[in-house]
Chains A and B, each alone.
Chain A
């Protein structure tokens, strides 16, 4: 039901950048594999349909094991879907091989949860941001590195620093700088603030919100924390064990959640209020 309302809304301005229909992902369950023969498959995602309009922010929420990260990675073709189709900017990318995908990869970037393990500890910040641009054949790379650092509010002198010399929030901003330097249209942000303390969380989210506006980015933001989603997202998709239990505009989901699971997720958030009911 929630599906239709979103689809109707999108009907008026059908500028869909990313869409998926019937997306399924399954992995072999090696723990249950018999000595001889194939391991049984475990379904992670059960036929997901979604549409992301250009310039909008989609929040993907769910508990651990709900399949939210797998969904994000399947969209970017980082895990292989077992069924369904993925369209990026109108083009079917479900079965493209790596060579055909490469030019499209520049247009869809990812920011990772743990900035320490996603930034090469032996390279300086400048090189970390420059490397992907080199690979994609950009010109004026040095100027672009400076611009990217400006965009995320880090001083240009940080080019010569190593990741371990930065705080968690600064590292995460380097991750953002690396992604936006390639001028992508779409960015997948997977739990990018869950390792940060509250004030760095606020900073990183604000940087991201400004960039979405300024650069007209389309964003999918994965989080287990609905209060973080609230600030940033236009639409929200709630996943539970690989199924979509709620999908609609953020305002509506927060004001009147339809699914019991969404209610449960909202109630579990500890508000800074000793009198909060349900605790």
Chain B
């Protein structure tokens, strides 16, 4: 069976620079599967999500590789067709719930817009669906929330609204870009459970971008560790947490805070490990240039 989403040796460059920012990235996700993309800031993990959705900043362009969504090569499609396909099948749960919502509009149109504009629903159908969704994300008074402005809601509530709106059109693929980093731990737990619940119920394929290996161990089945825009380890979650293969992954795991064992956590990544992984990335670059 072919995977629902396949990314094949995807490379991207920042305009005016020689270096690639994504380096021959390849992975695939089946329906109902959650893949974690892990790395430090600047590793390119969010960029991969944006490349799939076709919302990369204009200064970054893809120079090679393919993104196959349900067998269709997105890179070869006309922009309008691509937008229609991606809009109908994929959705994003963004990191910062305050900036992702329009502060001057009520919640209702912010959930129903996509249903009306992209899927051609009637306004009243979209409204019914929005109410259902707010129930699904465990909001007690959907009526009140629909009529509220974003600033009237707490951070956790806003993130629930965004999750509701991401799942509104029954997407087959959800990109979650650090959806809980702006939340405190107790709210984070609720939101992670909610995402897991919806993902399982709708059998959604999901790319989960995060820097927190603790979070990965809770929501993902597989993970890819990134450094400098290159995947340096692919692993199944149970195997990874028994012992990562790559030295850099091990260092990243040791940096993750663990209150049960304070001595074995919060160890900064060693300079030697960073140098080694950076050298590995550059060597791969050389090989790639040679090939090209």
Contacts and interface: CB of A to CB of B under 8 A. Distances in A.
Interface of A: 63-65, 167-168, 196-203, 205-206, 224-228, 230-231, 254, 264-274, 276, 279
Given A201-B255, A201-B266, A230-B262, A167 B192 contact: no
Mostly helix, strand, loop or mixed at chain B's interface? helix
A199 B213 CA distance: 11
B226 to A, nearest CB: 12
Contacts of A230: 257, 259, 262
B260 interface: yes
B60 interface: no
A225 B256 CA distance: 12
Given A198-B256, A270-B192, A274-B241, A264 B186 contact: yes
B259 A254 contact: yes
B64 interface: no
Contacts, number: 114
Interface in B196-248: 211-218, 237-238, 241
**Nearest 8 A-B pairs (CB), nearest first?**
A270-B214, A227-B257, A227-B259, A224-B184, A197-B211, A268-B185, A202-B268, A268-B189
Interface centre among A199, A203, A265, A268 (most CB of B within 10 A): A199
A228 B257 contact: yes
Contacts of B262: 230-231
Contacts of A267: 189
B153 interface: no
A198 B40 CA distance: 7
B40 A63 contact: no
Contact of B257 (A65, A206, A231): A231
Contacts of B42: 167
Contact of A197 (B40, B259, B265): B40
Most B CB contacts (10 A, CB to CB) among A226, A271, A279 go to: A271
Contacts of A65: 154
Contacts of A266: 259
Given A200-B40, A227-B265, A272 B256 contact: yes
B26 interface: no
Contact of B217 (A197, A198, A205, A273): A273
A167 B42 CA distance: 9
Contacts of B193: 279
Given A168-B41, A199-B269, A271 B260 contact: yes
